[in-house]
Amino acid sequence: MAIACHINNSTKMSEQTINFDSNPPVATNEYDTMAQMALPGYEAMHTMALSVLKANLPQTANLLVVGAGSGMELVKFGKGNSQWQMLGVDPSSNMLAIAQQKIEQHGLSERVKLFTGYTHDLAPTALYDAATCILTMHFLTDDGSKLALLQNIAQRLKPSATLILVDIYGEKGTDEFERMISIIKVFWEEMGMNPEKSMQGVETIKKGVYPIPEMRVMELLQQAGFSNIVRFYTGLWVGGWVATKNS
Ligand SMILES: C[S@@+](CC[C@H](N)C(=O)[O-])C[C@H]1O[C@@H](n2cnc3c(N)ncnc32)[C@H](O)[C@@H]1O
């Protein structure tokens, strides 16, 4: 079932095929295992994201974690710095229930809070020193929805704040993207994924993920008010960029 994704009050509604509550690409209780298998360098990517944040932020900082999901980066960042405060935002209550368990298990409840909903539901006040949006924007179509997400994040960041964006990127239908799909299938096999899951994975990407070329990622970031954009991570077709909010 396609679920309408609320972008913000002023932009048109966009259909988001994948909804982690009603139409999850993978059972939510299998997400962590599958993410580590399916997303090239998943754990290392989170470590690199933490390194980027630590290199840019003071000991005391407020972080907005958009698309917090099952809480993997909340725990990583929360353990990586003992003073950062974080708000994890995600429309999926099922994913956030898993995140909440992890937060409690790791003793992070004082510093890490969760919000079930969208970034645009948060007060548009520049509160945060940094934001991350990891493996989330690629579920939105490039019809104004991706830009609105980035603008909604920008509105909640202080001047010169750091943004980390990680997404599957590339241009569907090109030879390059098709070659990447072939490589990904082999990668998944090497990681021990069974052929049925691998086929489902490719279908999910084809139907519910909307990658864009790196040039377009840069353009959207700039339009949303970010500059100083550097790619800090590449895992086959997953890219990670760090950007600075304009002053
Ligand atoms: C693939 S998971 C990524 C979770 C986590 N960031 C990680 O690194 O594993 C994507 C998450 O984004 C959430 N999501 C989807 N659309 C969103 C939106 N418009 N705003 C915020 N989160 C969204 C989903 O509910 C899901 O929990």
pLDDT score, position 26: 85
CA distance 184 to 201: 10
pLDDT score, position 203: 92
pTM for this one? 0.94
Q: Whose CA is nearest to atom 19 of ligand 1?
A: 118
Which atom of ligand 1 approaches the CA of 16 most closely? 16
CATH superfamily of 28-245: Vaccinia Virus protein VP39 (3.40.50.150)
- Probe residue for ligand 1, chosen from 100, 134, 139, 147 as the CB with the greatest number of ligand atoms within 8 Å: 139
Beta strands in 50-105 (DSSP E): 62-66, 85-90
> Mean pLDDT score of the chain, rounded to an integer?
93
Pocket lining: 5 vs ligand 1, CB cutoff 6 Å: yes
Which atom of ligand 1 approaches the CA of 18 most closely? 15
Pocket lining: 95 vs ligand 1, CB cutoff 6 Å: yes
Q: What is the 3-state secondary structure (H, E, C) of 43-97?
A: HHHHHHHHHHHHHHCCCCCEEEEECCCCCHHHHHHHHHCCCCEEEEEECCHHHHH
pLDDT score, position 16: 66
Spacing of C-alpha 117 from chain mean position: 15
Cβ–Cβ under 8 Å, residues 69 and 90: yes
Question: How many A from CA of 135 to the centre of ligand 1?
Answer: 6
Provide the residue ranges of all domains of the chain, joining segments of one domain with +.
28-245
pLDDT score, position 4: 37
Tokens standing for 165?
């964006």
* Of 15, 220, 11, 202, the residue nearest 133 (C-alpha): 220
Question: How many A from CA of 20 to the centre of ligand 1?
Answer: 8
Q: Whose CA is nearest to atom 23 of ligand 1?
A: 67
Please identify every stretch of the chain with a pLDDT value under 70, giving residue numbers as ranges: 1-16
